[in-house]
Structure 1
Amino acid sequence: MKAPHLLTQTTSRVLEPSDLDAALAILDREPVSNAFVKARVQIAGLDPWRLGGEMWGWYEGGVLTSLCYAGANLVPICATPRAVRAFADRARRAGRRCSSVVGPAEPTAALWRLLEPQWGPAREVRTHQPLMVTDRVSDVIAPDPRVRRVRKDELQTIMPACVAMFTEEVGVSPLAGDGGLLYQARVAELVGAGRSFARFDADGKVVFKAEIGAATDRACQIQGVWVAPEHRGRGIAAPGMAAVLRYALTDIAPVASLYVNDFNTPARRTYERVGFQEVGAFMSVLF
């Protein structure tokens, strides 16, 4: 294996496969916040083609201290103020290729302040998205026994619910552009991995659904929580979430997390009832 680069100066560069151990050490500093990127790196390594983007590294005195994932999302990771400036310079030179800038609120806000004059205006900026965590199953809300893993032969049944959730959450349809090929592949990947969950009614229609998206040995992230509009307000979300949380903590990782829009008061209350506690905040810039 090629030896990692040895740098003595303060600089940034694109990481290579030989930098994998050093990158994982950075990602492990904040296992909850970094679950999404670490999950990708664990599967794909640092090869840009397999990773779906580049991993940029920032070195202070020859030591790797910060990262930035530059793929479909631009994600600062354990980024110091000097690292943020370096990543912004690199991003400006490369031009915008991502559909969002997302990550821990403080470095993401700093990164966006530097990028906005060239990359703005954004379609939407969500400055405060509470990051919520729990390591135990609720003893208050009983899990809904009707929530189960989605089977592979149910992909076409779950897809409309996934598209509806994405469109409500992000504000654009995931079917735009390539007709939804990449999005359907991601949904199929989660179904195939046993990380897609749903409750179906007697007619086989989706009542509630959620996925365990990013998953590492230390933390996992619940995403895509959705209740069919005609079933909202009936107390379905909390037991559904309790069921998914039980699967997450039993089968996937010792800690489960999610992040939610601060204006989504009903969802925040539901997560709190299930046992999630706010530990920080994310920020998302959507294009």
Structure 2
Amino acid sequence: MLRMRTPTRFLGSADRDAALELCARHPAENVFVAARILEAAPFGGGTLIGYEEDGRLEGLCWSNANVVPVETDSVSRQAIGDRLRRSRGGRAASLLGPADQVLDLWDRVQPGWGRPRALRGVQPHLVTTTPPSRLGVTLDERVRRGRADEVDLILPAAAHMFTAEIGYPPYRGSSRSYRALIAAMVERGHTYVVVENNEVIFKADVGSVGLGCAQIQGVWLAPWLRGQGLGTPAMAAVVERVLVDIAPTVTLYVNDYNTAARAMYARIGMHQTSTFATVLL
């Protein structure tokens, strides 16, 4: 009996350029995966699933702690979903990315992966290329890049943000591994903070950089300072700095029910270009 050749396969370093070319179709939407590809040493080991038609890469999916589809259609998602069910067994922490792709992919893998902890189906994806100062937005001049000697100050703020957003703490017991992640972010110059009285009161991270885009994540303001109009100038300063320091396009995505954050992002010039979704497992 002849075996049918599957249209999906795990990609390797020889596929790097083709994978980045696919991400570049919508660079702001696909920056998470583009950044992982650019950061990686030769990425074997079943991390990146590709879907091919006539020998050409037409869709892919990052498959690690996060599962992130890139430029997939219903046909490629069916094939990728079959591969995910066989190879991952529901071991991912989340699915995230463009809503149409994520929600359809989730429908295909969900029967074998169980019920999600949360499904956030409408997350506006926002983009700007304009420094907020050009729009007349006041910048918080205290915002700066975090320093290596401030990692232990940043850690509580990062853990508080993670727990509030995801629903469980980023570590139990030793903070060593989580601290190392924060330290690496700081070392790259990708964490911006406001520090007062030896305490971090605001922070934001650049989690992904690639293809001329920088994706901001982990935005946090100390709870006792919220509702005082401090978030807008701080976030405006972060966007301003990232546009100068890191990439000419800044992106992020936000939960639709977070009306205060959405209004703040609108004030600093960010506009919606698409809709994301996240499935937390």
TM-score normalized by structure 1?
A: 0.92
1:199 to 183, 194, 197: 194
The alpha carbon displacement at 1:40 in A equals 1.4
| Secondary structure, counterpart of 2:136 in structure 1 | coil
Are 1:255 and 2:246 matched, yes or no? no
Q: Does the 8 Å CA contact 2:69/2:102 hold for their aligned counterparts?
A: yes
1:280 to 266, 270, 274: 274
Are 1:155 and 2:151 matched, yes or no? yes
| Secondary structure, counterpart of 2:27 in structure 1 | coil
Q: Could you report, residue by residue, the CA deviation over 1:207-233 in whole angstroms, capped at 9, with x for unpaired residues?
A: 111111111241001111111011111
Partner Cα distance (2:247, 2:6) in 1: 36
Map of 2:70 onto structure 1: 77
Are 1:115 and 2:97 matched, yes or no? no
Are 1:265 and 2:252 matched, yes or no? no
1:33 to 24, 29, 51: 29
Match runs of 1:52-201 below 5 Å? 54-94=47-87, 95-138=89-132, 139-176=135-172, 179-201=174-196
Count how many residue pairs are aligned between Structure 1 and Structure 2: 275
| Secondary structure, counterpart of 2:158 in structure 1 | helix
Q: Does the 8 Å CA contact 1:148/1:197 hold for their aligned counterparts?
A: yes
Partner Cα distance (1:92, 1:277) in 2: 36
Report the residue type matching 1:128 in the other structure.
Answer: V
Question: Which stretch of the first structure deviates more once superposed, 38-47 or 233-242?
Answer: 38-47
Partner Cα distance (1:269, 1:231) in 2: 17
Map of 2:13 onto structure 1: 17
Partner Cα distance (2:47, 2:98) in 1: 19
Partner Cα distance (1:132, 1:118) in 2: 32
Uncovered stretches (5+) of structure 1, i.e. residues with no partner: 1-7
Q: Does the 8 Å CA contact 1:10/1:61 hold for their aligned counterparts?
A: no
| Secondary structure, counterpart of 1:48 in structure 2 | coil
Map of 1:223 onto structure 2: 217
| Secondary structure, counterpart of 1:283 in structure 2 | strand
Report the residue type matching 1:76 in the other structure.
Answer: P
The alpha carbon displacement at 1:116 in A equals 1.4
Report the residue type matching 2:49 in the other structure.
Answer: W
The alpha carbon displacement at 1:183 in A equals 2.6
Partner Cα distance (2:98, 2:178) in 1: 24
Uncovered stretches (5+) of structure 2, i.e. residues with no partner: none
The alpha carbon displacement at 1:10 in A equals 6.6
The alpha carbon displacement at 1:280 in A equals 0.6
Q: Does the 8 Å CA contact 2:13/2:44 hold for their aligned counterparts?
A: no
Partner Cα distance (2:156, 2:81) in 1: 37
Q: Does the 8 Å CA contact 1:208/1:236 hold for their aligned counterparts?
A: no
Q: Does the 8 Å CA contact 2:66/2:92 hold for their aligned counterparts?
A: yes
The alpha carbon displacement at 1:45 in A equals 4.5
